[in-house]
Structure 1
């Protein structure tokens, strides 16, 4: 079946890139790790709200010491800690009894057309900043929304008796001043700290705001540890577990295929299969059965087969920092190993302990995904025979066909195992398409910005940055001719350097990032019609998880930083107060 013509999503505003204040962890990955470990710590110590400032500070200091963090982060930890102890309570409160409190400094100050009244900023829906989208979604859910700030305002709102919970975005100092009022009223509140406090074009971890905005006790997975689940999924690919689930590798060919299957990888696709199954369970701590594991491994079999074949077709030399499969064993062996993994994938599906209808649906989903991926790869390969400029939508269509099917198959296999409806499957298809495109755009952005990444300007593959540059040089004949030469892969190294300069001049990276964020948002918006709050909440968080920055050995990084600080200063410069 032919896919519909691809259309561009509504552009969403990008936050300006700014360095966080020194008392806030500097990378998104570090902040994610702190929040994840703090969530587990709250359960461990059994903290019960409301916490007094003394209790809050004490627990925050204990956590900072245990995790080896710089004490300068204590206030930040205190804010996250207070939010975590209220999390389950806030989830039970209807959206109609909640207030979303946003700061006016999220706006682009020098361009914002919004006026103010006695209640705060009156958003003009210009689309320049994130306030519009947050306000629209919150009001759609039933929240009261104010774009204002200040501890006096918080007190006035609490005293009305019309609000039972507050979701607030603000800087650490304002949150600290507001804490006594929240504590006195024992009103549930979750705060997302701004990353700066200078009140001009500030930034925030927006995914956290969206996550809390949709927090509801109807979502049984809102306490599910996605990091823990992903680590569990990764464990399914050690040799002992693969032998348990797939049977012994009885030949050299099977051993080679298993080694390739077990090679390093992000495991996002099998993780998605497990996520969908988890979302349907009353108890998210229930043990995952072998049938789900087999389906998840089948997804990875398909993925690793496509990589083996793709590396041959693209003549790539390296994968996972090592020689590609065909460089290690030769093209004939690599082709055969890919074919074997395809067979193993279908075999695992048929071995799942599931109703015949479910196994048929899983097989159909895998076959359809395999076909769509091959059509996308075919379009790319045929392009390489006579390379010429592709439009933005043509490149995105290749992304849709090459990358999105793997996400769709992963999700649909999990959905088939739990008896998802046809309406849910249709939503999963739309979600997967947007998610896959956003994922591939991220790869192109990384290629553009990372000196260690393979360069699509040299490789024979369609490039989104090059498509954008081709469109933006339409009125510059000389520059456009050079871009067209790059499309044909005829540029000298000096001309490639000029192309990169043009990409900076025409802000190609920014356009790529806007598209990435827009497709991420489209993926989330696809979930609106899902009836299952658990599946909706989990898939929303999956978007944030996939696109968050991973940090390895983060504790050792903090410890090294702390050691360096202690060498230059006899005392820590960390704040002594844990903000609420």
Structure 2
């Protein structure tokens, strides 16, 4: 649509009653009703996106601010914020996607009920067209497979078709990776056959150009963090000192087939390579890179990953190794049976061996740092070891407080005490990852205390968000979350319920811990009591408060490259936080 015609249509749409401001209670994830309105808003977003700096990562906050500006301009309701953010994001990424070959793009399609007849006709045609162009095709809900493709560097761009809420969930990790993504929201959450086919056709036919675009810096760093734990690279960075086969080379015979002295090292290496999100080493690498830029003399790379000194990579490895050690010990303390889809170490190899492997990993983590004095400098190594030791002590204090509370007869818990446990258990890992990466790049300076505060708020918000996610998931997740609560884990949700329920209901909640009722009934009742106490809404507010504090601190931090990284971490670690409490509350019929 061209100039005057577009202006006239905009005025007509503004005049329509359906386009006037709606009640604030309307959810933010609605799709504009008419194709005409959607096309006009797409045109407006394309014009508005010209203000974006395409050379810098786009934060969720910037995206939402721009979306609200577009809606205010047209006097449209807040319920279209989510949809408008998707359109603006498309415009931000369009040029980047144009530069990527079709064979390096992935098409995400929604899961639909087919009754054995294959994909419904509309999507079947889209899938055939995409595959004829050389694109890969995947279900939007298949997050693990999607992330595997990202990590393996098999794809560089994504085109997605899904409902707004599914897009938000599927793109959570995509945002962390910084992968260019174009998306078309379904017109109805409950009907996967309704979508703007012309829009999908347009995105599929975005022809690659010869314009060179740099890969998003955070995507490359996330791949680099994962690549360190691939067997060959792990052996290169952390050579095995003992000879003999790995666990994978004994044909399922287990640790008994290993030479006894070499067994501990072999089990530890096998566990390190099993899986994870690798967020902590990513933060270390990103912090270092933010302060040094892309070109660093005397560095090595692995399979096209960013050139970062091996000494810094080993520091990043140590952060994840400490995390893996804590998982081994936590699994023992919580009597968990599975980790990464396999039996936990204490189930696979016995309790004494698992404890010993966890201890070995702690020693390995410290040794990776302490042996880099000649490359990083003795003062740098000393500071990083001190950062890691401080984080280790506080993590142990937090875990100890949780265990003591779990075993205590008195299950009363204040919100402040629960938040302090969260601060001890979760925040130190963020802090160690961030400060270690920065210290590899240079002195920490006067901002160190504020960065610690930033990590404290980020860690607390992250842990509360995880608790809400547990209750929002499928029935198995909810049962696990409820049993976790009844088993004695001191959560903020429990503390809020204790504080918010009248005395009779509070006593009922406390008695459910030792009740003889079936587990499912007990969990259902816990959820009902949480709902009565408005726990989920209050938890959502706590997340927003800590997120706001973290962003306020990030605003103060200099230089700009570090400021940008901190905002990016808040946007990605807490992605979708504003929707979780609302979603859980609705599922709980909270009033």
Q: Shorter-chain TM-score: which interval? A: 0.5 to 0.7
Query: Structure 1: any 5+ residue segments left out of the alignment?
Result: 1-13, 25-71, 92-99, 107-147, 152-168, 180-194, 198-204, 212-221, 551-580
Shift in CA distance, 537/485, structure 1 to aligned 2, threshold 3 Å: same
1:445 to 450, 468, 479: 468
**Structure 2 length as normaliser, TM-score?**
0.58
> Deviation digits for residues 276-314 of structure 1, max 9, x if unmatched?
101102337961111111011000010000111111111
Alignment of 1:371-386 (within 5 A): 371-386=393-408
CA distance in 1, matches of 2:41, 2:223: 27
> Deviation digits for residues 354-402 of structure 1, max 9, x if unmatched?
0211100000001111111111111111112214121111111111111
Shift in CA distance, 83/359, structure 1 to aligned 2, threshold 3 Å: farther
SS of 2:365's equivalent in the other structure is helix
CA distance in 2, matches of 1:232, 1:81: 33
Q: What residue number does 2:506 align with? A: 480
Q: What residue number does 1:364 align with? A: 386
For residue 446 of structure 1, report the CA deviation from its aligned partner.
1.7
Pairing 1:509–2:536 present: yes
CA distance in 2, matches of 1:328, 1:433: 35
Q: What residue number does 2:559 align with? A: 532
**Structure 1 length as normaliser, TM-score?**
0.59
2:223 to 216, 227, 231: 231
Pairing 1:541–2:568 present: yes
1:299 to 288, 296, 319: 319
More contact order relative to length (CA 8 Å, sep ≥ 6): 1
For residue 82 of structure 1, report the CA deviation from its aligned partner.
5.8
CA contact (8 A) 1:349 1:359 kept: yes
SS of 2:486's equivalent in the other structure is coil
SS of 1:88's equivalent in the other structure is coil
CA distance in 2, matches of 1:445, 1:424: 32
Pairing 1:396–2:396 present: no
CA distance in 2, matches of 1:82, 1:232: 35
SS of 1:531's equivalent in the other structure is coil
SS of 1:432's equivalent in the other structure is helix
Q: What residue number does 2:233 align with? A: 241
CA contact (8 A) 2:283 2:433 kept: yes
> Deviation digits for residues 18-70 of structure 1, max 9, x if unmatched?
4331799xxxxxxxxxxxxxxxxxxxxxxxxxxxxxxxxxxxxxxxxxxxxxx
2:53 to 76, 84, 88: 88
CA distance in 1, matches of 2:486, 2:389: 33
Shift in CA distance, 81/260, structure 1 to aligned 2, threshold 3 Å: farther
For residue 323 of structure 1, report the CA deviation from its aligned partner.
2.0
For residue 170 of structure 1, report the CA deviation from its aligned partner.
10
For residue 513 of structure 1, report the CA deviation from its aligned partner.
1.8
Task: Give the number of the structure whose residues are more often helix, by fraction.
Answer: 2
Pairing 1:266–2:290 present: no
SS of 1:462's equivalent in the other structure is coil
2:432 to 374, 399, 409: 409
CA RMSD of aligned residues (A): 3.9
For residue 514 of structure 1, report the CA deviation from its aligned partner.
1.8
SS of 1:452's equivalent in the other structure is helix
CA distance in 2, matches of 1:317, 1:229: 32
CA distance in 1, matches of 2:336, 2:223: 29
CA contact (8 A) 1:460 1:489 kept: no
Pairing 1:149–2:73 present: yes
Deviates more, 1:453-462 or 1:476-485: 453-462
Q: What residue number does 1:279 align with? A: 290
CA contact (8 A) 1:404 1:434 kept: yes
- Number of equivalenced pairs: 385
